[in-house]
Structure 1
Amino acid sequence: MIAPRDEALRILVADDEAPARQRLIDLLQKDSRVGIIFEASDGQAAVEIIEREAPDLIFLDVQMPELSGLEVIEAIGAAAMPLTIFVTAYDQHAIRAFEANALDYLLKPFSDERLEAALARAKTRHDERSVQEFGRNILRMVSATPPVDRRIDRLVVRTAGTTRFIRVVDIDWIEAAGVYVNLHVGGKELLYRASINELTDRFDPMRFIRVHRSAIVNIDSIVELQPISHGEFELVLKDGHRSRVSRTYRGLLEKRLGQSL
């Protein structure tokens, strides 16, 4: 079904200044297409809300504590980001914002009319995406080609002039390192060029669990689980490493274990 034009938009407002967030929220609530509005006062909170709630649109401040607006996009991945409108008081960020595939750019202080124009553009783009997704779903339904299993059981790692074949099941845990990841295998650390999102998609989800935006662990390497606070836990692995299980990813671990933590 094609999304109706009056489909409510789920919007995240991410800005470290409370008055700026409230003004945006007050203006957005006047629009009949706006549904749930989430708030984030720093970049880390924005990442967690995007991963947990998958909003349709985000108004993203460029300069925030924890992670900047551009670092939020880097953490999520540009392709996985919701429609994004940057909001900032510094126009020198405009070029980098559009390089990050921003839909629009609001320079503080902006007028009500300028926000309305940006929101109208976002609603149009959202409707276009809905129609495109409908088309892709139809193609998938009528395609006779069986899905390709993209899971891999070995990684080819080149280091110090040597090419090594690493069995995926031998990896204890993986941590993000920019455009690379660090593979922890039997107490050794190997650098491998891939994003953590890519490996999450291509590893067996029954064995490898995402526990944090920057960490994947092999469930067979977990020795014990220790509570920290506020619904977060810390994993202790066979190699002695400790990895925090964030609230965002706790549900994945509980689903794999088939029980609550």
Structure 2
Amino acid sequence: MATRTEPICALVADDEAPARRRIADLLARDRSIGKVVLAENGVDALTKIREAAPDIVFLDVQMPGLDGLGVADAMGGKMPLTVFVTAYDRFAIHAFERDAVDYLLKPFSDRRYEQMMCRVKERLADLRSRGEEGGSTIGPELLKLIEKRSTPGGIWEWIAIKSRDTTRLLMTDDIDWVEAAGVYVSIHAKGEEFLYRAGLTAVASRLDPFRFVRIHRTSIVNVKSIALLERRSHGEFDVILHCGKRLPMSRTYRDTVEAVLGQPL
């Protein structure tokens, strides 16, 4: 167990004030807790994890902008001991995939909280006895992306396709691929084609980089639309979509594709 000479710093992140107070009040009764830091959303939590270097983090799974699972992913394996807190049990598998120490289902009893804290303190004592600590390795580019994702309209969920008298809202998740077409881009979605007045680079900067990847100077694809990658010569591939469309992938963008997939081609 942690001693009085090693007070525990805990961070509580939840977008609902009553939920934050519930855990903060329980922590305040514990003499081994030296400091409690509160965060109102995922981006706030990331910033305060960097600043306060807490020993334990209590993360609400569902928060606007950046959720608790996204916070853990953004930390890149350097997350402090983490307890996910949520009203839904369907996120449990995702939580433990991120090495969660425990998973509190709202509403939880004081007894359930105490059981969780015993487990957390045992784990923390073990880490401290071995001289191991958590840490943050969030780079500035990732922070920019996180901030963009937390801003309404920063990352497009919809594209407004304008015609003479109407504006059609096209969900970006329905897009299969986007290709350059002069001062326009041609957007292909659900078997239809739409012209949008913007450059390919400008559109790429507003699409979710975890879902869309540039494969050529003239084209971007939705990763979920890819069926096959067919190797050609000199490190190049053909990208074959579920709809049957075949697009060239130049070796210039191979590293980018591998980074999005998280594995080599």
Contact 1:84 1:104 in 2 (8 A): yes
| Equivalent residue letter for 2:89 | D
CA offset digits 1:169-207 (Å, max 9, x no partner): xxxxxx99549999xxxxxx9554559xxxxxxxxxxxx
**Other structure's SS at 1:105 match:** strand
What secondary structure is seen at the aligned counterpart in 2 of 1:109?
A: coil
- Equivalent of 1:121, from 102, 119, 129? 119
Q: In structure 2, which of residues 56, 63, 78 is the aligned counterpart of residue 80 of structure 1?
A: 78
After superposition, what is the alpha-carbon deviation per residue over 1:149-184, rounded to whole angstroms, capped at 9, x for unaligned?
xxxxxxxxxxxxxxxxxxxxxxxxxx99549999xx
Pair 49,62 (structure 1): closer, same or farther in 2 beyond 3 Å: same
Residues 61 and 69 in structure 1, CA contact (< 8 A), matched pair in contact too: yes
The count of aligned residue pairs is 146
Normalised by the length of structure 2, the TM-score is: 0.50
Contact 2:83 2:102 in 1 (8 A): yes
Percent identity (aligned): 47
Taking the TM superposition and a 5 Å limit, the aligned residue runs for 1:16-95 are: 16-77=15-76, 79-95=77-93
What letter corresponds to residue 93 of structure 1 in structure 2? F
Cα separation, partners in 2 of 1:51 and 1:95, compared to 1, 3 Å = same
> Alignment partner for residue 97 of structure 2, among 96, 99, 114?
99
Name the aligned partner's letter for residue 105 of structure 2: L
Q: Is the 8 A contact 1:60 1:69 kept in 2?
A: yes
Deviation at 1:5, TM superposition (A): 2.7
User: Which runs of at least 4 in structure 1 moved beyond 3 Å after TM superposition?
Assistant: 175-182, 189-195
Q: Please list every run of 5 or more consecutive structure 1 residues that lacks an aligned counterpart in the other structure.
A: 135-174, 183-188, 196-261
- Go from structure 1 to structure 2 and tell me whether the alpha carbon gap of 1:81 and 1:179 turns closer, same or farther (over 3 Å shift): farther
TM-score by length of 1: 0.51
Confirm or deny: 8 A CA contact 2:55 2:80 kept in the other structure: yes
Partners of 1:59 and 1:85 within 8 A in 2: yes
For the aligned residues, what is the CA RMSD?
2.7
- CA, structure 1 residues 180+11, in 2 after alignment: closer, same or farther (shift >3 Å)? farther
The change in CA–CA distance for 1:123 and 1:42 in structure 2 (over 3 A counts) is same
The correspondence of residues 1-261 of structure 1 with structure 2, limited to 5 A, is 5-6=3-4, 7-77=6-76, 79-133=77-131, 177-178=209-210, 191-192=255-256, 193=258
SS of 2:57's equivalent?
Answer: strand
Unaligned runs of 5+ in 2: 133-204, 215-251, 261-265
How far apart, CA to CA, are the structure 2 residues paired with 1:4 and 1:85?
18
